[in-house]
Structures are given as structure tokens and as C-alpha cells.
A and B are shown apart, each in its own frame.
Chain A
Amino acid sequence: DSGVTQTPKHLITATGQRVTLRCSPRSGDLSVYWYQQSLDQGLQFLIQYYNGEERAKGNILERFSAQQFPDLHSELNLSSLELGDSALYFCASSAYSGANVLTFGAGSRLTVL
């Protein structure tokens, strides 16, 4: 157990639907990062939050959004889902922004049918 908790572990939904993935960072960590890993793309950085504020943005689609709440948990919202959004979504946390030692969660596997 890395200390980073992601829910749900698995999610199956249909095209056009909306889902929310949740991440609780490791105790004491203020920064949360979201990554997407699909079969043909490798690990792609999506977005980072630090203490509730967005700090860095990667290849995140406009259909996707995220936020970090006062209790430091984060949610990644994926809407108007397409088949190509099927992927593993990983959350990672670190004590401070811009850290290069990240602790990753076990991931949420999203399947869009």
C-alpha cells in the first residue's frame, strides 16, 4: 500500500457518459498529479494541483477537468467519454510542488464501451 488511494479500481461505462475518479494523497502530501496510461500512449501527464491550486497542465483534453479540495483529495472528471478514453488513470502525490519523487496510487481502470 503506497498510501495514495484511488477509487474506483475499475469502471465500465458507455460512450457519451461522464465519470469521476477520486484520489486521496498520502498523508502529509500537498501536491496531486494525474496521469493517463493507454495501451499505445505510455504514461501521459494530465494535470497537477498543489494545496488546492492548479500548478501544471499537460495533455489534458477540454472534456476532462480536475480539482483539489480543501481536505487535499482530488477528483478527475471525464465527460463525453469516447472509446479512446479507455485507459488506466493514475494519481500520484508529493510533499511539495515540482517534486520528482512521486508516490503513485494503484490506478483506476476505465473501460468505455
Chain B
Amino acid sequence: DAKTTQPTSMDCAEGRAANLPCNHSTISGNEYVYWYRQIHSQGPQYIIHGLKNNETNEMASLIITEDRKSSTLILPHATLRDTAVYYCIAPEDTGRRALTFGSGTRLQVQP
């Protein structure tokens, strides 16, 4: 898997946008970037993934830089329920390895 680097923790005010960065400078051309989150002691939850174009779904937006060396997950209007650990993953496109989770970013949404 391409190595990803994320800040250990971030704070965000409720109702504001939460922008979670991820560096993946060694990513190869056919490796997607995936984002998951884990609310305290619950199972991880898939959020979104992308290759080179920006992506948006009902949960979040994913902005990938043109050189694909970094990306940002955007939660447009963070709520207290968005407090969680967010994982950025860039798995190898071999189809033969299971997803590997790093340390992620602990996002604390403040009231």
C-alpha cells in the first residue's frame, strides 16, 4: 500500500466544515484513495473513494490534488456525531491484499 500520512488529531466547530488532509506521495497511478471512519468502538464505516477526480456523496467530498500526492476529505457541516477516527488508505491495486488501516486522524467536533 502507498504510505499515507495524516495528522494525529484535529478539532472542528459544530456546523463548520471539517477538512481532513492526507499525504500519499508514493501513490501509483492506478491506486485509489479510500476514506473510512470509526466512531468510538464501533466498526469502521466506509465514506468515499476516488482516483483522480473529485468525488462527492451524501457523507462527504473528496478532493484529490492534480499530482495525486495528497487529498482532503471534507465534511461540509460537521456535527457532534462526526467525532471519530478518520482513516485515509491507498491500497495496492492487486486485489490480493486486505485493507490495512493506519493510525488515522482523531477528529473532535466541538459544540
Which residues of A approach B to under 8 Å, CB–CB? 2, 4, 33, 35, 42-43, 45, 48, 55-56, 58, 88, 90, 92, 97-98, 100-107, 109
Q: List which B96-111 residues lie within 8 A (CB) of chain A.
A: 96-103
- Distance in Å from the Cβ of A26 to the closest Cβ of chain B? 12
Chain B residues with Cβ below 8 Å from A56 are 96-98
- Known interface pairs A42-B101, A42-B102, A43-B101; A103-B94 also in contact (CB < 8 Å): no
B103 touches A42 (CB 8 A): yes
- Distance in Å from the Cβ of A77 to the closest Cβ of chain B? 19
Chain A residues with Cβ below 8 Å from B95 are 97-98
Query: Digit string of B16-43 for contact with A (CB within 8 Å is 1, else 0)?
Result: 0000000000000000101000100111
- Report whether over half of chain B's contact residues are helix, strand or loop; otherwise say mixed: loop
- Report Cα–Cα, A55/B98, bound state, in Å: 9
- Report whether over half of chain A's contact residues are helix, strand or loop; otherwise say mixed: strand
Among A35, A98, A103, residue most surrounded by chain B Cβ atoms (within 10 Å): A98
B46 touches A58 (CB 8 A): no
A100 touches B42 (CB 8 A): no
Output the nearest chain A residue to B104 by Cβ-Cβ distance. A42
Q: Which of A48, A98, A103 contacts B46 (CB 8 A)?
A: A103
B98 touches A104 (CB 8 A): no
- Distance in Å from the Cβ of B102 to the closest Cβ of chain A? 7
A102 touches B46 (CB 8 A): yes
- Known interface pairs A45-B99, A102-B99; A107-B46 also in contact (CB < 8 Å): no
**Other contacts beyond A45-B99, A97-B95, A100-B32: 11, CB < 8 A:** A33-B98, A45-B100, A55-B96, A88-B41, A92-B43, A98-B94, A100-B89, A100-B91, A101-B49, A102-B44, A104-B43
Q: Does B45 contact A (CB under 8 A)?
A: yes
- Report Cα–Cα, A58/B99, bound state, in Å: 10
